[in-house]
Structure formats: C-alpha cells, structure tokens
Amino acid sequence: MDASTVSSNASATVQGTAALIMMKKSMDIQAQSALSLLDAVPAAPKYNNPAGLGSSVDTRA
C-alpha cells in the first residue's frame, strides 16, 4: 500500500463518519420538531352525553 491509498481510505472514513453524525443531528432535529407539533395539537373535546348514546346504530330508514 502506498501513502496515497492510505490517505484516501482515511479521508473516506472521516467523510463517512461526518455524514453519519450529520444524519443523526438531522434526525434529532426532526424528532424534536415533530414532538413540538404534536404538543401543539389541541386535546379532543370531552362531551357529557348519556351513557347509552352512540352505542348502537339504527340501520332502518
């Protein structure tokens, strides 16, 4: 192996590692953004309906 091959392989390894680190950071930022969007969704309203309401469907019309 000559020096240029070793240097080329080391450079490729460094570039690959840097790409993985950037991808991980990007995924962390996306996850944080998704969580903030989910936190912004309002809660479903609570209805005070009688107990039997909505438990059956009348299919005769």
Whether the pLDDT of residue 56 is over 60: the answer is yes
Backbone angles phi and psi of 49, in degrees to 5: -95, 160
CA-CA distances (angstroms) from residue 37 to 7, 24, 45?
A: 45, 20, 19
Confidence band (pLDDT; 50, 70, 90) for 2?
low
Measured distance CA(61)–CA(58) in Å, rounded: 8
Confidence band (pLDDT; 50, 70, 90) for 61?
low
Whether the pLDDT of residue 19 is over 90: the answer is yes
Measured distance CA(7)–CA(20) in Å, rounded: 20
- Average pLDDT score, the chain: 85
Confidence band (pLDDT; 50, 70, 90) for 44?
confident
Query: What mean pLDDT is predicted for residues 18-41?
Result: 96
